[in-house]
Amino acid sequence: MMEIFYRRSKEHGLKITPQRTAIYQELLKAKDHPTADVIYKRIVKKIPNISFDTVNRTLLTFSKIGITNVVEGYGQPKRYDPDIAVHHHFRCLQCNTIIDFHSKDYDSMAVPDEIKKQFTVINKKVVLEGLCNKCRRR
Ligand SMILES: [Zn+2]
Ligand SMILES: [Zn+2]
């Protein structure tokens, strides 16, 4: 997994600094699609002098060079996803938990004609929304 980080950074002329490496490693470990704020709080325990701004900017750069995905948040803070392979999300409307899932059917879903006529589709992602088990039990 670090290989893609080194390769893409090189391709985009991005210097590999200890801070960037640490941020990427922290993100790789995250399974909860964290916000920049959450990543910052985790990383600051290891690198006390790092600023939120650095973490935020680095995450934006990571998504620009394609080593991180941004989960659509519609008005909410951006959530970052280290898994750049095709997958889909279930989002809990109550607690905002985002859970990964895979579906071959969704992967191969056809693009509607009205979209195909007007746009070039690059990504197809399905977001299912509802209540997670924890929230349903409340
Ligand atoms: Zn929930
Ligand atoms: Zn995901």
Distance 33 CA to ligand 1 centre (A): 14
Quick one: which ligand is closest to 83's CA? 2
Quick one: which ligand is closest to 91's CA? 1
Q: Which two tokens stand for residue 21?
A: 């490496």
Predicted local distance difference test score (pLDDT) of residue 75 = 79
Distance 13 CA to ligand 1 centre (A): 40
Distance 14 CA to ligand 2 centre (A): 25
Domain definitions of the chain by residue range: 2-81, 88-137
Quick one: which ligand is closest to 81's CA? 2
Q: Does pLDDT of 73 surpass 90? A: no
Predicted local distance difference test score (pLDDT) of residue 1 = 79
Contact yes or no for 23/39 (Cβ under 8 A): yes
Q: What is the C-alpha separation between 25 and 22, in angstroms, rounded?
A: 5
Average pLDDT over residues 23-48: 96
Contact yes or no for 88/101 (Cβ under 8 A): yes
Mean pLDDT for the chain overall: 94
pLDDT tens digits for 82-122? Answer: 999 999 999 999 999 999 999 999 999 999 999 999 999 98
The CATH number for 88-137, chosen from 3.30.1490, 3.10.290, 3.30.460, 3.30.450, is 3.30.1490
Contact yes or no for 123/84 (Cβ under 8 A): no
Predicted local distance difference test score (pLDDT) of residue 138 = 82
Distance 35 CA to ligand 1 centre (A): 17
Q: CATH top-level class for 2-81?
A: mainly alpha
Contact yes or no for 71/81 (Cβ under 8 A): yes
Distance 91 CA to ligand 1 centre (A): 8
